[in-house]
Structures are given as C-alpha cells and as structure tokens.
Amino acid sequence: MKACILIVGDEILIGQIQDTNSGWIAQQLSDIGIHLVRALTVADEHADIVDGLNLAFQVADIVLMTGGLGPTKDDVTKLAIADFMGVEMYFDWSVYDRIKSMFKKLNRTLSPHHRNQCQMPQGVELLHNSMGTAPGMLFKKNGKYIISMPGVPFEMKAIMHDHVIPMLTALSDQKIFHFTILTARTGETIIENQISHIVESLPDHIKIAYLPSISAVKVRLSGTGSKTALLEQEVMFYAQQIMDTLGEIVYGVNGTTLQAELQKLCIQKQVKIATAESCTGGNIAARIVSVPGSSTYFNGSIVAYSNDIKQHILHVNPSILDTHGAVSEETVMAMVDGVIDLLQADVAVAVSGIAGPDGGTEDKPVGTIWLCVGTKTHKTTHLLTSGKFRDKNIEAATMYGLDMLRRFVKKM
C-alpha cells in the first residue's frame, strides 16, 4: 500500500510555521509498513487542494491530509474534497450537537464559524476527534482512501492513534517491526565498526539505520515480513547480539530517555542524587526534573557559575582553584564532595568546562570540559574535549553528565 501526505497550509508555505505533521505521520506509516511515496504541501486554495488530490491519487492508494479544518478556514478543504469526489455538502447534526454540548460546558456561545464546521461532504465517514471540535474525515473512492485531519498536531495525533493507525495497520499488506537501541557517549563510526560482523550477517529483510545526535546514537533495526511474531523473534535475535556487543554504552531501548532510565535506577537502588554545574548551567538538573516524579530522588542542584560560589558554597579549596584552575579534574572532584554535603545526596555529578565561544587558552581550548560523578568515597572522572560551538558543548556535557550518573548508580 502506497501513501501520500497532503498538507494544506499557507502558514507553512510562507515560513510562519514549521510543518512537523509530515515527519510524525511519516514515522507512523513506516512503523506499520505503509510505503510513503510523496509528501506535498499546498496553499489553502480550492484549486491547489484539488490539484494536490489529483497528484496524490496518481501515485498512492491512501491520501493523508492535514490542515484547513479549523473554525476560521473550515470550508476550503472540505469543499475541495467534495469537488474532487463529485459530491454535495450536507449539514451534519451529530457534529453540531457535539460542538454545542462542548461549548455549553465551557460557557461559550457558538459562532457562525462553528456552524460551518458542521457542513460535510456527502459520503464522509466521521472520525471522532477527542481533542477538539473538528472531526477527522474518511472517504473511499475506487478502492482508494482520503483521510483528512485538522492541522493542530495534538488533534491530528489523537485521530491518527484512535482511528487511522488501526485502520491502516489492518490494510497494510506487510508487517514491519522496529527495534531501537539507544546509546550515549560513543560515535557512529566506532559503533559501526564494533557491530560490523553482526550487520554483515543480517538477512535482506532486516535493515539497520544509525541516527546520530550530540553524544548519542540510536541504532534501529527494521524487519519486514508477513508474520509479526516470527519477525519480532528474528529482529530481537540480532538486536540482542548488538546490545551484548555494545555493552554499557546502551542506556535503553525504543522510546525511553537517559533521564527516565536514571530515574528507574535511582528509585530501584534508593539513591538520592544532586548536581553541581558550572558550564552546563542547570541543564542536567532541568533534564532530570523533566521526568514526572523526580522529586523522590533528586535533591537539587548548585549552579556554581563563578569561582566564588565554587569556593564559598561548594567549599572547593581555593588552593585547588589556584593550582589547577576551575576547569580541572581536582575541581570537579571537590565540587562533587561539596554538593553531596550541602544537598545531603548520596551521589552527585559535577561539571566544569569552557563552553565558549571565548575563554579558551592554549592549554584548555574552548570545549575542554571536566566531569566527575561519585560518592564521598568513590569517584569517576572524565575529560570531554568537545568542539567550538557553545550550544553543542553544553548539550554534550549534559548528555555525558546524565550518562555518568546512570552508569554509576547502576553499579551501586
């Protein structure tokens, strides 16, 4: 089954809004084995939408449309679909009643715009929208499908999850099974080399992809076949070999995050953590706090941006700062001790580095970052030599800090 995405939106063509719907829908289609052959964006114009539908029907069996269904520009997409399908519009009382009761709860009154939302092309099958007033729409013609959804991402996603993905999964003539192995702190090339013997042994219907980001690489296996259970077993056979080979750089699989894995370990081992951050400026703490429930194991953080604070709050010995400098192994080790005492944590991570663009020296160029993780009695340090870009240096140090915490707590 082949699909085409058709995005309706002036605001995307004039560069006002970045289209994120296409990328998300593409991922979902890939997950269920539907082959996306085109993605097209057109303006909120009748003729352009009809043009887009014609193109889509030439190359695909399924057209997934988003946009042009809000209360203010409600007509254009629906009228274009009606025109393309050769049908008239009708007033749908079930849509009207639903909007009316939603608005009653919110104490708002219906505008003429909302009455427009109840006009529907004949032959439509409505797809309930649990997140908004405009329902999704399904049309069938000559064995092909048009699915039209609102452009608001969370409304589109709700309709996709509730209706479209189950329907397309049933239609899909091939099954696909993805498994993603998440790694931190090792580059793509090194990973490729380490697992090349496994990759060479992969059968043709299992593909591998490397998705690198700063200080992290996702390794994804995708198997295609006709029987889900067998496919899953096959993919997992190779995935397990890859995970065994990569060892401790693997922090999780599929949709998790470093901070979510860290949470599991802290709760399991009943460990309280804290951070002492210089160049990361609170980014490690912010990442930890992004996980709901972090208050049970995260005590807090000291963002020690000045030497004064390193010395007076974290009690880094001034002789260490004088002799080795703020960006040194000795300083980050002392910062760990200081923050553990201050915030009554069991384990802490500390970071001090030169994020740039200024502040580098010959000895310690921009991108020199020292990290330390540990308890009062046992510590591990790491010297990260990142690049010249401030954003990337902060992100790299944040990822390293989180992963050093994860590995340390795991071994406790």
CB 125 → a second copy: shortest distance, Å?
26
Inter-CA distances, 335 with 54, 197, 322, Å: 64, 43, 15
User: Which of residues 211 and 378 has its CB atom nearest to a second copy in the complex?
Assistant: 211
Q: Is 270 in the site for a second copy (CB under 8 A)?
A: no
Distance CA 370, CA 397 (A): 9
Q: Name which position in 66, 129, 183, 283 contacts a second copy (CB under 8 A).
A: 283
User: Phi and psi (nearest 5°) for 52?
Assistant: -60, -40
CB 283 → a second copy: shortest distance, Å?
5
User: Which of residues 126 and 289 has its CB atom nearest to a second copy in the complex?
Assistant: 289
Scan residues 21-80 and list those touching a second copy (CB under 8 A).
22-31, 36-43, 48, 51, 55, 59
User: Which of residues 36 and 124 has its CB atom nearest to a second copy in the complex?
Assistant: 36
Scan residues 150-209 and list those touching a second copy (CB under 8 A).
209
User: Which of residues 226 and 296 has its CB atom nearest to a second copy in the complex?
Assistant: 296
Contact pattern from residue 331 through residue 370 relative to a second copy, giving x for each residue in contact according to CB under 8 A and a dash for the rest = -----------xxx----------xxxxx-----------
Q: Is 48 helix (H, G, I), strand (E, B) or coil?
A: helix
CB 300 → a second copy: shortest distance, Å?
4
Distance CA 139, CA 127 (A): 11
**Residue pointed to by tokens 């989180």:** 402
CB 12 → a second copy: shortest distance, Å?
7
Q: Name which position in 282, 325, 360, 365 contacts a second copy (CB under 8 A).
A: 282
8-state DSSP, 172: -
DSSP string across 36-74: EEEEEEE-S-HHHHHHHHHHHHHH-SEEEEESS-SSTTH
Distance CA 349, CA 280 (A): 11
Are the C-beta atoms of 331 and 320 separated by less than 8 Å? yes
Distance CA 314, CA 395 (A): 24
Distance CA 338, CA 179 (A): 41
Scan residues 4-23 and list those touching a second copy (CB under 8 A).
12-20, 22-23
**Residue pointed to by tokens 């807090």:** 300
Scan residues 306-325 and list those touching a second copy (CB under 8 A).
306, 308-309, 313
| Region near a second copy per CB under 8 A, out of 101-109, 129-137, 227-235, 295-303 | 295-303
